[in-house]
Amino acid sequence: MLMGAFSGFSVTYTTGDPWLGVLTAFFVGVAISAVHAFLSVSVGANQVVSGLAVTMFGTGASSLLGRKMIGLTVKGFGKVPVPFLSDIPVAGPVLFDHDPLVYISYGLVLLLLWFIFRTRHGLNLRAVGESPVVVDAMGLSAVRLRYFYTMIGGGMAAVGGAYLSLAYTKMWGEGMSAGRGWIAVALVIFAVWHPARAVLGAYLFGGVGAMQLRIQAAGTSFPTPIMMMMPYLFTILVLLVISVKKGKGILIDAPGALGVPYSREDRT
Amino acid sequence: MRYRIVLRRRFKTGAFFEGILPVISIFAALLFSGGALLLFGVSPLAAYRAMFRGALGSGYGLSEVIVKAIPLVISGVAVALAFRMKVWNIGAEGQIYLGALASAAAVRFLPSDSRVVMLLTMTVAAIIAGGAWGYVAGFLKSRWNVNEVITTLMLNYVGIHLADYFIYGPWRDPSSLGFPMTPPFPPSARLPLFFGTRVHLGILAAVLLVLLFRLVIRWTRWGFEIRAIGDNPRAAEYAGISYGRNVVLLMFISGAIAGLAGMTEIAGLQGRLQPGFSPGYGYTAIIVAWLARLNPWGIMMVSFFMGVLLVGGDTIQVINPLRHPRRDTYREIRGTEPGA
């Protein structure tokens, strides 16, 4: 996310075109997660450690490269109200008066839902998550699939970062994602690996964040640092609720081979 | 006579390779960062030479390396202990903050003129607070199997903000001209320094903890249980080793040790609580533990190396055209190496 935020910002700043920024961010994300994919898929490194190392690399590299960008602003994405739809009372301004990336996020959810659950490729994707052995036996390369989707996922996370720097704040700041990448991980757990529930969760989390800002802006005497804890505490709370439920035998739907490195040699 | 070559799969990496691997990794990382430096128009050789000379070329540089290595060793032991049981304590950073916060609270509310009493109170406070922070994640993990990576990570942010709350709020030094920091600690709350440098008593704690880590893991029943669970949780469970009980205990102790790192850092070095006093030691500790392959001596060596990078980075900051390469160069160096 951070590398996406940074690279998107710098490209937009130099070219003046935010779309080019988003595109760059995507490919930077793909490149970085290719490293992660190499370490965790090919070398069989522990995925948590590899992910953590890649995260630290991104944090360091983006802050080093982004030093000159601090304090600059870009025009970035402006609000583009959708004609007619944005005139709908209440729902209009809430849903249809945003920058283009927000609309893309709507579309992406639908697209992914269709892709994951209604296409052959989606089936392969789910299969490789459940059991790479079976996928390999089917004559598909589990390794190639894992590489591909890890990289696509990394690219999407980077675009999420680019949203922060291009649309949300329109500037670059060191460590600006403030742990959102990790919250996203919690979201996936919250959503039990289902994109539709993930969206629900994302808006819920966003709501908590927005509420915190609103309360702050309303000028209560409630101390800021305590407010800032809320999204994180909320994450833990949600995770707890999910885990308690799971313990009762409901909703056990995590991919079977999650976090397990796969090697043809080791197949048993 | 005919020979047959048989290729057999080894289930354990050879001892030599195990030992040489981190060295290769570090070398590769230096090479990679060198490339990055080249892109910035800096000669990597000159930069590295300056870095190592700055860190190791003088008594002062060396003492500063040790100062930086102390919190890394302590928190490195903390996370390595958890990793041994394959419990992912990513929360050392938050535990460090909690430890520091609690020891600052001890200074504020239980002041004592006796150095021994004061320091002991602070240590106990730090251990309890850091341990409590770890305990939360351990308890949630054992009771409801809540993913500890996320909880410890989220608790980092909570801990840092909690410290901020006190520093910006009730504990702010009125005479600090608006700078957010607590009043300086009294001399009785400071760890003794050695040899006229900034090396403080924390070094003793660090060395003791490394020895203790070795001792516990290698020679005690509990250490055996940890290793057993780490290697095969199911087998351990069948052998009657309780995962739940151990994970809670382990996370408490891991957090307590990290909390201690927070205490030594502010009582030894900074003498007051400031926002952001730990520049990510808790995260670096993870890399330290992993690069050291959870080996106690390795933790010491890697921490020392990280200290060299930190101090050396400070030196290049002065001489080369990159304005503040320090934190990022070393982040890059450690960041490129997942170590497994």
- For residue B327, name the pLDDT band (cuts at 50, 70, 90): very low
Phi, psi of A187 (to 5 degrees): -60, -40
Sequential DSSP letters for B199-243: -BTHHHHHHHHHHHHHHHHHHSHHHHHHHHHHH-HHHHHHTT--H
- For residue A176, name the pLDDT band (cuts at 50, 70, 90): low
- For residue B332, name the pLDDT band (cuts at 50, 70, 90): very low
High-pLDDT (> 90) share of chain B, % = 20
Any bridge partners for residue A171, and if so which?
A73
- For residue B59, name the pLDDT band (cuts at 50, 70, 90): confident
Residue A97 parent element (H or E):
strand A97-98
pLDDT tens digits, A122-169: 666 666 666 666 666 666 666 666 666 676 767 677 777 666 666 666
Min Cα distance A115 → chain B (Å) is 28
Q: Searching chain B, which residue's CA lies closest to the CA of residue A36?
A: B338
Min Cα distance A216 → chain B (Å) is 14
Mean local confidence (pLDDT), A10-15: 50
Mean local confidence (pLDDT), B86-94: 87
Would you call B40 helix, strand, or coil by DSSP?
coil
The residue whose two tokens read 């060191």 is A174
pLDDT tens digits, A203-243: 677 666 666 666 666 666 667 777 777 777 877 887 788 77
User: Is A243 part of a structural domain of the chain?
Assistant: yes
Looking at the structure, do residues A189 and A71 belong to the same domain, yes or no? no
Last residue of a domain, one of A145, A178, A211: A178
Q: How far is CA A150 from the centre of its chain?
A: 12
Looking at the structure, do residues A165 and A33 belong to the same domain, yes or no? yes
Residues of B in contact with A224 (CB under 8 A): 168
Of these ranges, A22-26, A126-130, B110-114, the one predicted with the greatest mean pLDDT is B110-114
3-state secondary structure string across B109-157: HCCCCCHHHHHHHHHHHHHHHHHHHHHHHHHHHHHHCCCHHHHHHHHHH
Min Cα distance B149 → chain A (Å) is 9
Of B153, B165, B323, the CB nearest to A223: B165
Residues of A in contact with B329 (CB under 8 A): 64
Of these ranges, A200-204, B96-100, B231-235, the one predicted with the greatest mean pLDDT is B96-100
The residue segments making up the domain with residue A138 are 1-78+129-178
Q: Which residues contact B94 (CB under 8 A, 6 or more apart)?
A: B133, B152, B155, B156, B157, B158, B159, B160, B282
Q: Searching chain A, which residue's CA lies closest to the CA of residue B147?
A: A239
User: Is A100 part of a structural domain of the chain?
Assistant: no
Taken in order B61, B67, B71, B74, the sign of the CA dihedral is: positive
Distance CA A8, CA A170 (A): 11
> Is B154 close to A179, i.e. CB distance below 8 A?
yes
High-pLDDT (> 70) share of chain B, % = 85
User: Is A43 part of a structural domain of the chain?
Assistant: yes
Mean local confidence (pLDDT), B74-102: 90
User: Is A4 part of a structural domain of the chain?
Assistant: yes
Distance CA A95, CA A84 (A): 12
Last residue of a domain, one of A178, A196, A211: A178
Higher pLDDT, B224 or A16: B224
User: Is A117 part of a structural domain of the chain?
Assistant: no
The upper half-sphere exposure of residue A166, i.e. CA atoms within 13 Å in the direction of its Cβ, equals: 37
> Is A60 close to B150, i.e. CB distance below 8 A?
no
Using the Cβ of A179 and the Cβ atoms of chain B, whether some distance falls under 8 Å is answered with yes
Q: Which residues contact A238 (CB under 8 A, 6 or more apart)?
A: A186, A190, A201, A204
Mean local confidence (pLDDT), B93-113: 89
User: Is A140 part of a structural domain of the chain?
Assistant: yes
User: Is A38 part of a structural domain of the chain?
Assistant: yes
Distance CA B330, CA A63 (A): 12
Q: Report residue A43 as tokens.
A: 């070398």
Q: Searching chain A, which residue's CA lies closest to the CA of residue B288?
A: A53
Task: For residue B188, count CB atoms less than 10 angstroms from its CB and return exposed for 0-12, middle for 13-18, buried for 19 or more.
Answer: middle
Least confident interval from A38-47, A106-115, B221-230, B238-247? A38-47
Reported ipTM: the value is 0.73
User: Is A122 part of a structural domain of the chain?
Assistant: no
Number of domains in chain A: 2
Min Cα distance A15 → chain B (Å) is 21
Higher pLDDT, A10 or B160: B160
DSSP class of residue B5 equals -
Looking at the structure, do residues A32 and A22 belong to the same domain, yes or no? yes
Residue-averaged pLDDT of chain B: 81
pTM, to two decimals:
0.76
Of B161, B335, B336, the CB nearest to A229: B161
Looking at the structure, do residues A11 and A52 belong to the same domain, yes or no? yes
Q: Report residue A180 as tokens.
A: 């959102």
Apex A34 CA angle, B16 and B42, nearest 5: 75
Looking at the structure, do residues A195 and A72 belong to the same domain, yes or no? no
Looking at the structure, do residues A190 and A171 belong to the same domain, yes or no? no
pLDDT at B256: 94
Per-residue exposure over A54-69, b if at least 16 CB sit within 10 Å of its own CB, e if not: bbbbbbbbbbbbbeeb
Using the Cβ of A61 and the Cβ atoms of chain B, whether some distance falls under 8 Å is answered with yes
Distance CA A229, CA B164 (A): 11
